Structure formats: structure tokens, C-alpha cells
Amino acid sequence: MFRRNDAIQNRIVARRMQRFFKTLTHEQRADPRTVAIAYGQHLWSQWRTGIADEKRLSRSRFYVGLALENSSIGEVTKRSALVADTLLLSHGCSGIYTELGRISDGNFRGDMANAACAYAGGMAMPPYPGQEGPVDEFYGMHCPDLDLLGRWVLDCEPLLRAGLAWYLPGYSSRKTASSESGATPDENPQAIRSIDLLIRDGRAVDASGVHPVKSKIVRPVLEIDLPFLENVDLKNFSRITVEEFQSYVGFRDFLRMSFLGMDDALNAVQSERELVRIGLDIADQVRATRAEMAKVNRKRAVAVTGAAVGSATAVLTAVYGPALAAVVTAVGAAGGWLPALQAMAENSKLSIREDKWYYVWMLSKESTSP
């Protein structure tokens, strides 16, 4: 399913997300709310195949789950993706409940006390006291803004397809039982348990069971000054991150090492100074990369011109044979095209693109472009 050169972080998530986007129609893409509803329905159908199995997904110490509360999902995504292997976002079971479909007619059993919003199933639901008939059950998701979520899904498509990020809806079920007095509806939303950190006012707050490494790398990235992210929209951020995956991974490791290297004993003022220092280091490296790119562009302009002339000469030589070759050699042009091609290869951007600062430079370039 994946090609060798695909940028894939988490194959479990990537596989599910690619299946979702494959089924998303052009008409659905035109309406963000419809996209969000289709996403919620797709994720519900994937429960039994393990996409919500936190034991499998959280083996990496840098797998980070964030529960959003009055925060910008786009800004949190851009910043947190800079340090997380795979970023899981969720609103939990808060927000408006939207019904997505019927689970079954009386043949579903959900253990709401022990399962996250009733995603297990397969047996008949026992009747309520005083009721002998089956229990009908419906499911839905909680979300503060379905339009915003749908736009996020579309903008983050490259990240989702690569298994770098995903969104876990907060599911709930609504049970309706038939009795002598009529239908008895019952809604019992439950919180999703696979979230590590809660985002409040743009800052990470520990949730139960959070791994200390995750907290230590997420908190600073939400506080540090990163100007190259400010004017980059989420869609372009997602595209650049996947297209420059190797450079992105290098920069991600740099941030992790920088944050993990901060002394736990530092007070608030010292920590802020350390974050400023890291931010200045990043800005300095971006300037250095900009200068290197400009230098390569100048060299390539000269090299490509020489290569074009040399290549044309080589073609003529091949066509017209030794007679022309002798003339070209006599005027000294035959030896000029090969060095030009070599110079073009030696000054290629390819090696620079593998450097961790190329990714940041690309974001900076996008941020400052008109």
C-alpha cells in the first residue's frame, strides 16, 4: 500500500486515514461539515481494527495525545507536530452532540463503564427493568464546531495520510428501550481515556497518566517564539512537512534535544531565557540557510548556462562525428561542457534539503511570501 519513498510516520494511522480520503467524494470535500461527519463515521467503523488501541499506538515515547479546550486546533497542530512522532487531537466528549447513525436494532451491547464511549459490540443489549423488548442504540460524536473540524481534516490531509497526526472524535451512544410506557431514551457520554495532555489557553496541562517526556517536550513548544510559523497556514504547513520529511525529522530531533536538555531546576524566568536562546539559535540558522541557498542559486545559474552550451556541443559532436569533434577540440570547447555539468551537480540543492534547517527555511519562506 505504501511506496518506498512515501513519508510515513505511523503506518496504523496512515492506513486508516488513506482509506478515509480515498472514499471522500468531491461533493463531500466542498462542505467541511459533511467532511467532519464522514470522518466521524469512518473512525467509528475502524474501532475493531485497532486504530484506537492506545497500547499499540503509544509505544513511542513521543506519541502525544492532546485534548483541546478553547484552543485553536490549527495552531496547536502546527506547534505540537514539531515535537511529536504522531499527534492525536481530540475534544473528548465535550461540545455539541451530533448523531451519526444507528449501531443496531437491539443486538448491540456497550459496556459504558469500562469502554470509551461504547465502541465495543456484538451481543444483545439486556432490557431495562420493566421492559422485555430489545434496546435500540445510536451513536454520535461531540464537537464544538463541525465546520472547523472539517476544514482541519482537509488542511491536514498530508499529515493524516502520513500518520503524523489524526483526530479522535469523542463518541457517545444513545439507547432507546421500548417499555409499557413507551420509548425510554438514555444518553450517557463518556470521556475518551487515550489523551495525555489537556490544552487550556494554549498551554499543556497534565492529564492522568501522562508520560513525563511527553509533557516536557510539548510545554516548551507551545511557549517558544517561532516566527516562521505565524503566517504559514495549516494547509501549507502540512504540505511542506510531508514534502520535506527528512529535513522535518532532523529539526524535530533538534527541538526534542533542546527541550529535554533544559534543566528541571530552572525557574520560570530562567526557562523563558532558555527558550529565547533556542529561538535565537533557530533564527540564526534560518539566516545561514538563506545565505547558503542564495549562494547555490548563483552558482547553479552559471553552471547551468555552461552545461547547456556544453551539452549542445556534445550532441553536435555525436551527430556529425569525428570531423566536428576535431574542430571543437581545436577551439578548446570540447573540454568545457563536462566541468560545467560537474559544477552543476556539486552545487545542487539536494544535499541542503537533507539538512534540518532547510525545513525551517521553507516554512520561513512561506511565512514571508506575499
The set of cell numbers assigned to 145 is 464546531
| Distant-in-sequence, close-in-space partners of 39: CB < 8 Å, separation ≥ 6 | 20, 149, 150, 153, 167, 169
The mean pLDDT of 257-286, rounded to a whole number, is 86
Out of 29-43, 117-131, 202-216, 284-298, the most confident range is 29-43
How distant is the alpha carbon of residue 292 from its chain centre? 28
pLDDT of residue 116: 36
pTM of the complete model:
0.75
Out of 19-23, 63-67, 68-72, the most confident range is 19-23
pLDDT of residue 171: 85
Strands (DSSP E) found in the chain:
64-69, 87-90, 96-105, 135-143, 165-167, 170-179, 182-187, 197-200, 203-206
**212-230 confidence digits (pLDDT tens):** 888 889 989 998 999 999 8
The helix or strand, by DSSP H or E, that contains position 196, with its residue range, turns out to be none
Coil, strand or helix at 124: coil
DSSP 60-71: STT-EEEEEESS
* Average pLDDT taken over every residue of the chain: 75
Does the pLDDT of residue 240 top 60, yes or no?
yes
Q: Say how far apart CA 14 and CA 303 lie, in whole Å.
A: 41
